[in-house]
Amino acid sequence: MSDDKNIVEIGLLGCGTIGSGVFHLLEKNSPYIERVAGKKLRVRRILVKEVDEPRPFEADRSIMTTDWREVISDDQIEIFVELIGGIEPAKSFALEILGKGKHLVTANKEILARYGPELMKVAAESGSQLLFEAAVGGGIPLIRPLEESLGGDKIRKIVGIVNGTTNYILSRMSMEGSTFDEALESAKRLGYAEANPEADIQGDDAASKIAILSSIAFRVGVTSDQVPREGISRIRLDDIENAKELGYAIKLLAIASFDDGEIQARVHPTMIPLEHPLSSISGNFNAIFVVGESVGELMFYGQGAGSLPTSTAIIGDLINIARDMDRSKTIDRSYWNNPAKIKSINEVKTRFYMVLRVVDRPGVLAKIAGVFGENMVSLESVVQKGIGEEAQIVLITHEVKERNFWAAKQGLARLEVVLDIPSIIRVESL
Amino acid sequence: MSDDKNIVEIGLLGCGTIGSGVFHLLEKNSPYIERVAGKKLRVRRILVKEVDEPRPFEADRSIMTTDWREVISDDQIEIFVELIGGIEPAKSFALEILGKGKHLVTANKEILARYGPELMKVAAESGSQLLFEAAVGGGIPLIRPLEESLGGDKIRKIVGIVNGTTNYILSRMSMEGSTFDEALESAKRLGYAEANPEADIQGDDAASKIAILSSIAFRVGVTSDQVPREGISRIRLDDIENAKELGYAIKLLAIASFDDGEIQARVHPTMIPLEHPLSSISGNFNAIFVVGESVGELMFYGQGAGSLPTSTAIIGDLINIARDMDRSKTIDRSYWNNPAKIKSINEVKTRFYMVLRVVDRPGVLAKIAGVFGENMVSLESVVQKGIGEEAQIVLITHEVKERNFWAAKQGLARLEVVLDIPSIIRVESL
């Protein structure tokens, strides 16, 4: 602890896009933050990979070090901010910090989504605070409202657009008629997609985020390996056009629900009605739709990434810890160690959009309908498009169990008249 | 205080729509709330006007009384929930409760918007908590996120649809082509409008709410008498149709901004672009759009009224007080006693939509344009509609100071060729 009781010493682990933003805001808004927190927040040490790296904002190089021990072992530091990302060494650092009774603010969704129960346990045992508003939805206040403002309500469902990169790509395909590859290139040029965007595109990032949100909202431990996921790389421009004609938008959604003690969480591209508030969330914005038993429908919307928005969330957490520093109690997250009872995705009921390229011949539709019938899948709409070699069938099923739909799909793939099944997308009314 | 340290005794002042909802949720979710709060919340006494009134939810009549002294003077009660509404006796009760060092949760926007500084002062002096998440936006978490999650950012602007009644009326006019009177009748039938809906229709309710939000967001005392307001009763179906043609929706907005140390807050019907997220908020929903210097654009959306959504916010506040009961510090709201420096609405710059009924004669437009020119008002678009007795001019100005616009309007009203000016609505890009 600092000699001056009015100063809270902070250690930054990582100083890239977000870390340098945090340093910048702490300096720039210093008198303002001091007034709100009741204390001065001062960065004492910064762990970096290289002191001379380029950064979006300048940070004080005289307090930088490339030796993690110099930061982690500095006993004067009371709150650490972990912005390294990834599993190791972030996880070991986090456990060491929490184990020593120091407080930790992190934006690291991977360690929370994979090792949340372990981290919460160590924090509880040593009376440390572990806050992570920035891990989901960037600057959007989400974790605290779910945990505190809605603490007396039972959350039933969360449906979120929680990945800005994929939402930008889908918006651009929808609005400009770009192909997936063109939209991805544009996202990279604008800095919305990383050089290696696989974790975003494949839905892994969204899966980590919905695991964290589910844990908080349903008060039980959900880990990312319990979240089945499907990415957006197979979405074709044709699907987006078809969806529009049918009155839908295609969004990569993270969906979690709590029913009869069972949790179901998943990430996949979804067709949602154009009238639903989530369908108009465009570009790299995030929006999280929450349904509570008493509060009804809520939606939180904002910048889900970016240096300053994310830094704002981290500073909000820092202020909260600083304000509460003389308090012995921490938020009780022991529930995170109660493993969730997960409902298998096979048992989930949803509707499906499907496109089949078919041989243009009388009787084809009857054969296809037959396979669906055998598998107890009934159809809501069927349209034949194109003729000859272009012939395809675009259909939407009624609500069916995933298990039955996939059985039908296997049967269809075996039909001689079905040349190819280029698209399958889930359809939700929400 | 209760003998059992694990029980927090609550006094309900008022048991109508919201009060009975609070009682109902505290009973129904009792084990759940106890787990979250770490303590049991028990209603000890309820102040009512009449014990046998009809209520949306049943409450325990054996603890009801019509004598306020029996509730306010009960020393066992630690938290009071004030749901009486209006200024008196609510204000006197609030001051007495806070003065005794007891905690208060209130949904009363009027006393907060008019006597906020006084209430905060008394609370601070006696170390009481005063929470009011339910006063603005019903069940939408708003006060706490602004105050805590965004504590390190400087909020620049708040634009809200904060009154469900008027939003329902405007939505219905827009979607069903109802007149104002028809839509108001329908709102009354559905219970969205009160028997005397003047405070909603005239913008008074929204003015109180934006005064509270401004105080929290800008950390200074703003009172409702500092908020100029204009209601929606003059909005014609024609205006809504014209707005659609021009690419706008008409919403009753509460707008507050902070610039150069000056605050500007106002409530009026506003034409906003159809692409703006607020334009698609329909029915009796509320949505509050917030712009922070670092966090960028945020929006919070949900049920702004209703028994259970509003009760959820109150229970969130109760849980927060119960959790922090053994803590000596309260949230510092001393800033509420710093009077805001208010920018006069005369100096505000905005665009205006205006409809003039005119004599259908050559040269009319030149005369009108001349008056605008003399007052330094330039026009963005001018359309003549109808001929003969139906002739009217529909125009939108460029951005002008309010002062100049109203001077021009006076000049126009004096022109012999102008028969009538049926509509003037502000236009904002946001």
Does A247 share its domain with A179?
yes
How far is B332 from chain A, CA to nearest CA, in Å? 8
Q: Cβ contact (<8 Å) for B144 and A139?
A: no
Q: Is the pLDDT of residue B143 over 90?
A: yes
Q: Is residue A1 part of a domain?
A: no
Searching chain A, which residue's CA lies closest to the CA of residue B217? A36
What's the whole-number average pLDDT of chain B?
A: 94
Calpha distance A282→A336 (Å, rounded): 33
What is the DSSP code (8-state) at residue B389? Answer: G
- Using a CB-CB cut-off of 8 Å, the residues of chain B touching A148 are 141, 144, 316, 319-320
Residue B2 belongs to a domain: no
The confidence score (pLDDT) of residue B192 equals 85
Same domain, A99 and A25: yes
Which of these three, B246, B281, B303, is where a domain ends?
B303
- Stated pTM of the model: 0.93
Tell me, yes or no, whether A380 lies in a domain: yes
Q: Is B150 on the interface with A (CB under 8 A)?
A: yes
In which domain, by residue range, is A419 found? 348-427
Domain membership of residue A174 (yes or no) is yes
* Same-domain status, B91 and B11: yes
Give tens-digit pLDDT for B163-188: 999 999 999 999 999 999 999 999 99
Which chain B residues contact residue A318 at CB under 8 A?
152
Is A150 in contact with B140 (Cβ distance < 8 A)?
A: no
Q: What is the CATH number for B239?
A: 3.30.360.10
Choose, from B209, B251, B349, B401, the residue flagged as catalytic. Answer: B209
A164 vs B: CB within 8 A? no
Classify residue B376: in a domain, yes or no: yes
Q: Which residues of chain A have pLDDT under 70?
A: 1-3, 326-330
pLDDT band at B330 (very low <50, low <70, confident <90, very high): low
Give every CB contact of residue B310 below 8 A, 6+ residues apart in sequence: B17, B18, B21, B107, B134, B138, B139
Residue A29 confidence (pLDDT) = 93
Looking at the structure, tell me whether residues B204 and B160 fall in a common domain. Answer: yes
Phi first, then psi, for residue A197 (nearest 5°) are: -90, 15
B278 within domain boundaries: yes
Q: What separation, in Å, do the N-terminal and C-terminal C-alpha atoms of chain A show?
A: 49
Q: Which tokens sit at B23? A: 């009682």
Asked if residue A89 has a cis previous peptide bond (ω within 30° of 0), the answer is: yes
Confidence (pLDDT) at B112: 97
Mean pLDDT, rounded, for B347-357? 96
Catalytic residues of A: 209
pLDDT at site A1: 53
> What is the reported pLDDT for A23?
98
Site from B32, B153, B319 to mutate, A interface, most A CB atoms within 10 angstroms: B153
Domain containing residue B402: CATH number: 3.30.70.260
| Mean pLDDT, rounded, for B82-92 | 96
Are residues B153 and B291 located together in one domain of the fold? yes
Do A186 and A100 fall into the same domain? no
- Helices and strands, counts by H and E, chain A: 14, 16
Q: CA A122 to CA A139: how far, in whole Å?
A: 27
* Same domain membership, residue B232 and residue B373: no
Q: Is the pLDDT of residue B1 over 70?
A: no
Judge residue A379's burial from the number of C-beta atoms within 10 Å of its C-beta, 0-12 exposed, 13-18 middle, 19 or more buried.
Answer: middle
Residue B317 and residue B337 in contact, taking contact as beta carbons nearer than 8 Å = no
ipTM, 2 dp? 0.91
Nearest to B303 among A296, A303, A332 (CB): A296
Pair B21, B130 in one domain: yes
**What radius of gyration, in Å, describes the C-alpha atoms of chain B?**
24
Residue B28 sits in the same domain as residue B109: yes
Q: Verify whether the Cβ–Cβ distance A306 to B313 is below 8 Å.
A: no
Complete edge-to-edge strand list for the sheet that includes strand A79-82: A64-65, A40-47, A7-13, A79-82, A103-106, A130-131
In chain B, what residues touch A297 (CB-CB under 8 Å)? Answer: 285, 301-303
| Chain B environment of A319 (Cβ under 8 Å) | 148, 151-152
pLDDT, average across residues B364-384: 95
Instruction: Please check whether residue A343 lies inside any domain of the structure.
Output: no
User: Nearest to residue B67, comparing CAs of B45, B52, B88?
Assistant: B45
Q: What is the pLDDT of residue A352?
A: 98
Residues B173 and B245 in one domain: yes
User: What confidence score (pLDDT) does residue B430 get?
Assistant: 83
For residue A209, CA distances in Å to A113, A133, A136 come to 7, 11, 6
Q: What is the mean pLDDT of residues B31-59?
A: 93
Contact between B220 and B116 (Cβ < 8 Å): no
Query: Quick one: B253 and B353 in the same domain?
Result: no
What's the pLDDT score for residue B3? 59
Q: Which residue of A295, A301, A314 to mutate against B (max B Cβ within 10 Å)?
A: A295
What local confidence, expressed as pLDDT, does residue B84 receive?
94
If one counts the domains in chain B, the total is: 3
- Same domain? For A165 and A253 the reply is yes
Q: Is B209 a catalytic residue?
A: yes
- Domain assignment present for B1: no
Q: Tell me the per-residue pLDDT of B293-313, one tens digit each, with 9 for 90 and over.
A: 999 999 999 999 899 999 999
Does A69 reach chain B within 8 Å, measured CB to CB?
no
DSSP 8-state class, residue B221 = B
CA atoms lying within 13 Å on the CB side of residue B37: 28
* B141–A298 C-beta distance less than 8 A: yes
Residue A195 has a pLDDT of 77
